[in-house]
């Protein structure tokens, strides 16, 4: 089946929508300050999916498409695509007249290089997103033909600027992608150009006057500020110094109070594509938590409802499996044992007793260190709760909270951790966001947000592979049910709860919330209405 006609109407409609928005905007110009918390380790969104990087990088770089809140594709660097009847050839028709910020033209060679030499090799999710892509042909400057081993419909959900930023071949080719200067001096095609990064203070991006979309962006400048102290961040929002704060940069306890103000709004919209899950990663190769029985007991003891209601003020849903409940829509989610909504400490103690982990005279079975994702005070409070409940089952924990670069190196470069509180994006399909936790091929030292547990199970690997490309819905459901059963038993990762992130913003800021990528969007349609 040729899909050109099927998608052309949608693309035209999306393009018309964008154009009409630009024409109807109330005001052009002005500067907008937004919170970036914590300070990112780099701006290389093609190497890391670290949250703070995602807050800045998609304003500079673009993907082939964006997605609206209904999941519909919006043409960005690609104007349309055509898929062959067997699903193994996808032809992208690229937008003409697009330039990199240094004035060089954007071409199909950039797409080929980005996917084959960058995303498939060094990106955390790229090896799964583009796993079936064997080659990209470039018959001309504005045509990129993806050749696939087998159909991969999930790939079409992975072309946003955050997921798959297109990068300039002429500035990265022949270099070590992970350490190239582009990481801290980015050059993209996006609506804003990198100007300055003053360490410890801010990142400044100015309007791209040569942007391909006429009339956009509206803002002359956007500035991402780093404010380490939570109370100072809240005060900056209250007094109008900053206008936008996403990913719980304003602690939930303050956001609940601020939403009653006339000038400030709070929303959970804009995260529909990322499907976030809070979790604990375990070191399965060394340390006190190598026995799956211990990990199952830990999961059983945790009161997920308490964490949601008390620490995150009701924003979230208890995890019931290795897969988010959002996958119920595609019949892939199945609830599993050892995931109680309300923790069962007595049962967890009995499980540890049965597994042979007896308490000593001080009531301690095991001691360990719990590392905490350094993304704000809510996670510190989560750590305090986990320390308490682990103590109730005889596991004595020390909490460790470090800056982002140190934490990333500890967990993903050195594997020098025992338990790590984190959150991962499960995304619209398990292939894109879930497989990277568990596949043996995802033990990629030095790559962030992949299989840091170093969990390896050949049976699971085979199921992940078969489930990824299974065209029969019933067989795919069966594969993922078995996957969840294995993971509920082995538990290299314990899912805690499905996150609902908050965006806190001054209501004079308009047009910043239409993308399904939320704060990982471009701000190209944002404007100020004083």
Inform me whether the pLDDT recorded for 11 exceeds 60. Answer: no
Interval 390-398 mean pLDDT: 98
Measure the CA–CA gap between 526 and 14, rounded to whole angstroms.
17
- The per-residue pLDDT for 518 is 84
- The per-residue pLDDT for 270 is 79
- The per-residue pLDDT for 20 is 37
- Angle, nearest 10°, between helix axes 458-469 and 473-490? 150
Return the closest-CA partner of residue 179 out of 283, 300, 47: 47
Inform me whether the pLDDT recorded for 15 exceeds 90. Answer: no
Measure the CA–CA gap between 434 and 327, rounded to whole angstroms.
11
DSSP conformational letter for 433:
H
- Read off the pLDDT of residues 116-163 as tens digits, 9 standing for 90 and up: 999 999 999 999 999 999 999 999 999 999 999 999 999 999 999 999
- Residue 18 within a domain: no
Cα separations in angstroms, 450 against 96, 243, 281, 461: 35, 33, 11, 15
Min mean pLDDT across 4-13, 273-282, 341-350, 369-378 is at 4-13
Contact at 8 Å (CB) between 404 and 52?
Answer: yes
Placement of tokens 């990198």 in the chain: 194
Measure the CA–CA gap between 197 and 37, rounded to whole angstroms.
15
Inform me whether the pLDDT recorded for 440 exceeds 90. Answer: yes
User: Contacts for 381-386 with beta carbons within 8 Å, 24 or more apart?
Assistant: 381/311, 382/278, 382/307, 382/311, 382/421, 383/421, 385/306, 385/307, 385/310, 385/311, 386/280, 386/302, 386/421
Count of domains in the chain? 1
What CATH number does the domain containing 442 carry?
A: 3.10.105.10
Inform me whether the pLDDT recorded for 14 exceeds 60. Answer: no
- Residue 433 within a domain: yes
Inform me whether the pLDDT recorded for 10 exceeds 90. Answer: no
- Residue 107 within a domain: no
- The per-residue pLDDT for 483 is 98
Contacts of 136 (CB under 8 A, 6+ apart): 108, 111, 112, 115, 116, 144, 145, 146, 147
- The per-residue pLDDT for 376 is 87
Min mean pLDDT across 9-23, 173-187, 423-437 is at 9-23
Query: Domain containing 435: what range?
Result: 276-499
Measure the CA–CA gap between 499 and 515, rounded to whole angstroms.
18
Inform me whether the pLDDT recorded for 9 exceeds 60. Answer: no
Min mean pLDDT across 105-114, 262-271, 304-313, 345-354 is at 262-271
- Residue 346 within a domain: yes
- Residue 82 within a domain: no
- Residue 299 within a domain: yes
3-state secondary structure (DSSP) of residue 140: strand
Measure the CA–CA gap between 393 and 416, rounded to whole angstroms.
24
> What confidence tier does 514 reach under pLDDT thresholds 50, 70, 90?
low
> What confidence tier does 522 reach under pLDDT thresholds 50, 70, 90?
very high
Contact at 8 Å (CB) between 341 and 318?
Answer: yes
- The per-residue pLDDT for 273 is 85
- The per-residue pLDDT for 339 is 96
- Residue 387 within a domain: yes
> What confidence tier does 26 reach under pLDDT thresholds 50, 70, 90?
low
- Residue 403 within a domain: yes
- The per-residue pLDDT for 320 is 98
- The per-residue pLDDT for 335 is 97
Cα separations in angstroms, 73 against 67, 79, 80, 128: 5, 10, 10, 20
Cα separations in angstroms, 286 against 43, 229, 295, 323: 33, 35, 13, 26
- Read off the pLDDT of residues 31-74 as tens digits, 9 standing for 90 and up: 999 999 999 999 999 999 999 999 999 999 999 999 987 778 99
DSSP conformational letter for 105:
B
Measure the CA–CA gap between 363 and 398, rounded to whole angstroms.
16
Tell me whether the omega of the peptide bond preceding residue 38 falls within 30 degrees of 0, making it cis.
yes
């Amino acid at each position: 089946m040729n899909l050109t006609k099927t998608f052309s109407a949608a693309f035209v409609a999306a393009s018309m929508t964008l154009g009409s928005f630009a024409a109807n905007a109330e005001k052009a110009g002005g500067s907008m300050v937004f919170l970036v918390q914590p300070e990112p380790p780099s701006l290389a969104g093609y190497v890391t999916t670290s949250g703070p990087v995602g807050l800045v990088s998609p304003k500079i770089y673009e993907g082939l498409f964006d997605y609206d809140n209904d999941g519909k594709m919006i043409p960005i660097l690609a104007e349309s695509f055509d898929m062959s009847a067997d699903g193994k050839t996808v032809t992208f028709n690229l937008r003409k007249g697009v330039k990199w910020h240094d004035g060089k033209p954007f071409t199909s060679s950039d797409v080929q290089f980005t996917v084959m030499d960058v995303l498939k090799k060094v990106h955390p999710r790229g090896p799964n997103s583009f796993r079936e892509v064997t080659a990209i042909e470039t018959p001309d400057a504005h045509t990129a033909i993806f050749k696939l081993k087998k159909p991969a419909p999930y790939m079409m959900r992975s072309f946003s600027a955050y997921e798959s930023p297109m990068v300039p071949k002429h500035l990265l080719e022949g270099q070590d992608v992970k350490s190239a200067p582009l990481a801290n001096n980015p050059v993209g095609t996006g609506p804003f150009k990198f100007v300055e990064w003053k360490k410890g203070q801010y990142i400044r991006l100015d309007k791209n006057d040569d942007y391909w979309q006429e009339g956009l962006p509206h803002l002359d400048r956007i500035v991402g500020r780093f404010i380490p102290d939570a109370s100072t961040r809240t005060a900056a929002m209250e007094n109008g110094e900053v206008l936008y704060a996403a990913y719980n940069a304003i602690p939930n306890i303050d956001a609940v109070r601020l939403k009653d103000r006339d000038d400030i709004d709070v929303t959970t919209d804009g995260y529909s594509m990322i499907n976030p899950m809070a979790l604990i990663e375990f070191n399965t190769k060394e340390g006190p938590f190598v026995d799956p029985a211990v990990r199952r007991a830990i999961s059983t003891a945790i009161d997920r409802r308490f964490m949601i209601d008390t620490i995150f003020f009701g924003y979230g849903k208890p995890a019931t499996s290795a897969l988010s409940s959002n996958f119920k829509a595609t019949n892939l989610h199945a609830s599993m044992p050892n995931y109680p909504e309300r923790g069962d400490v007595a049962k967890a103690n009995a499980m540890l007793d049965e597994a042979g982990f007896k308490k000593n005279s001080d009531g301690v079975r095991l001691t360990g260190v719990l590392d905490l994702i350094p993304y704000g005070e809510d996670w510190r409070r989560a750590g305090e709760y986990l320390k308490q409940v682990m103590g109730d089952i005889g596991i004595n924990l020390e909490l460790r909270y470090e800056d982002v670069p140190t934490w990333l190196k500890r967990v993903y470069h050195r594997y020098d951790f025992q338990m790590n509180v984190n959150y991962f994006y499960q995304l619209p399909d398990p292939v894109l966001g879930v497989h990277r936790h568990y596949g043996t091929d995802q033990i990629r030292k030095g790559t962030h947000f992949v299989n840091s547990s170093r969990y390896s199970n050949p049976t699971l690997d085979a199921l992940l592979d078969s489930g990824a490309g299974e065209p029969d819905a019933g067989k795919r459901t069966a594969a993922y049910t078995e996957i969840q059963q294995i993971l509920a038993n082995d538990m290299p990762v314990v899912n805690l709860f499905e996150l609902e992130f908050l965006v806190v913003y001054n209501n004079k800021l308009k047009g910043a919330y239409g993308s399904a990528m939320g704060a990982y969007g471009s701000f190209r349609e944002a404007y100020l209405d004083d």
